[in-house]
Amino acid sequence: MGYLNNVVGYRDDLLASRSIVRHGNYAILTPDGLVRNSVPGFENCDVTILSTPKIGASFVDYLVTLRQNGGNLQGFGGDGIETFLYVIEGNVTAQAAGKSFHLAQGGYLYATPDEPMTFMNNQPADSKVFLYKRRYSPAGNLTPHIVSGNARQLEHIHYEGMDDVTLVDFLPKDPAFDFNMHILTFEPGASHGYVETHVQEHGAYILSGQGMYNLDNHWVPVKKDDYIFMGAYALQAGYGVGRGEAFSYIYSKDCNRDVE
C-alpha cells in the first residue's frame, strides 16, 4: 500500500474565497468565511466579531443574529465605551439609561459611554443587528446624548453634490460626538467622485446591491452582506453595478477630534 491511498481529493473549494485581509490597511470579510464567537453577555445569539484593534481598527464591529429570546441583558458598553446598534432584519427591544426603544428594521440606538445598552429579540423569528463600540474620546466638557430612530425617517442628502449618490447621517452634527454612522447609497453606475484618502477609519456592512470597490488601488467585487474594513489612509472609492437594487452600505466614521 503506497502513501497515495491516503491522499484525499484536491480541495479547490478551499482556495475560493473573496475575503481579503490586509492588516491595518483594509479587509473584506464575506459571509461564507464568518465564524461564530462566544462572547460573555450574549445569550441565544450567533455573534461574529468583525473589525477589532487586532486588524488595526480603533473600534469593534459585530454582526449578531438574535435567536428566539436572544440578546444581551448583561449590558453592552458603558465604563467609557459608547455603542451603536442598527437592526438589519427583524424586531428588537433595546434599553439604555432607563428608556426602552422598539426597533424595527432600520431602527437604531446610540448609547453614551456611561450607559451600557441591553437588547433582546422581540419576535419568534431571528433578528439580525450590526453593532459598533469604541472608547469615547472626551473633548472638554462636551457630553453626547442617547439617540434613537429609524433610518427610514432620516433625510437623504445628495453626497458631495451628486444626483445619484445619497448619504444619511444617524447622529447629530454636534462636537460632543466623536464618530458618526451613515448609510451611503449608489444607484447602479453611480460612483464616488474621487479616490478618498483620509485618516478616518470605516467599518462598512453592505445592506443591498453590488458594487466594485477600489481598496488601496485593488479593485474588488462586493455585494450585500459583505463587510469592509477601511483603515486610516486606505485609498477608497466604489461604484454600484447591476440593473436592480442600489448599492448601499452602513458605515462608521470617526469625526470631530484632533489627532494626537
- Chain residues that interact with ligand UGY, rule: CB under 6 A: 184, 196, 202, 230, 236, 253
From the list ligand UGY, Mn ion, none, pick the one residue 169 interacts with, judged by a Cβ distance below 5 to 8 Å according to partner type.
Answer: none
Mask of contacts with Mn ion, 64-93, x by CB under 5 A? ------------------------------
Minimum distance from residue 211 beta carbon to ligand UGY (Å): 10
Measuring CA to CA, how many Å separate 113 from each of 82, 110, 117, 121, 165? 4, 10, 10, 23, 32
Minimum distance from residue 202 beta carbon to Mn ion (Å): 6
Buried b (16+ CB within 10 A) or exposed e, 38-53: eeeebeebbbbbbbee
- Max Cα-Cα span within the chain: 77
Does residue 196 interact with Mn ion by CB under 5 A? Answer: yes
Residue showing cell 462636537: 175
From 107, 119, 180, select the one nearest 150 (Cα to Cα). 107
Minimum distance from residue 218 beta carbon to Mn ion (Å): 16
From the list ligand UGY, Mn ion, none, pick the one residue 22 interacts with, judged by a Cβ distance below 5 to 8 Å according to partner type.
Answer: none
Q: Are strands 26-29 and 20-22 parallel, antiparallel or unpaired?
A: antiparallel
| Nearer to ligand UGY (CB atom), residue 42 or residue 249 | 249
| Nearer to ligand UGY (CB atom), residue 96 or residue 246 | 246
Residue whose CB is nearest to ligand UGY in the complex, by number: 236
Task: Give the number of other Cβ atoms within 10 Å of residue 185's Cβ.
Answer: 21
Minimum distance from residue 237 beta carbon to ligand UGY (Å): 7
| Nearer to ligand UGY (CB atom), residue 127 or residue 248 | 248
Residue whose CB is nearest to Mn ion in the complex, by number: 196
Please tell me what DSSP assigns to residue 9.
P
CA distance linking residue 12 with residue 251, whole number of Å: 33
| Nearer to Mn ion (CB atom), residue 102 or residue 219 | 219
Stretch that binds Mn ion, among 33-41, 50-58, 107-115, 189-197 (CB under 5 A): 189-197
Minimum distance from residue 234 beta carbon to ligand UGY (Å): 9
| CA atoms 80, 172, 63, 74: torsion sign | positive
Whether 205 and 130 have beta carbons less than 8 Å apart is answered as yes
Task: State whether residue 2 is helix, strand or coil.
Answer: coil
| Nearer to ligand UGY (CB atom), residue 65 or residue 166 | 166
Q: What residues line the site for Mn ion (CB under 5 A)?
A: 196
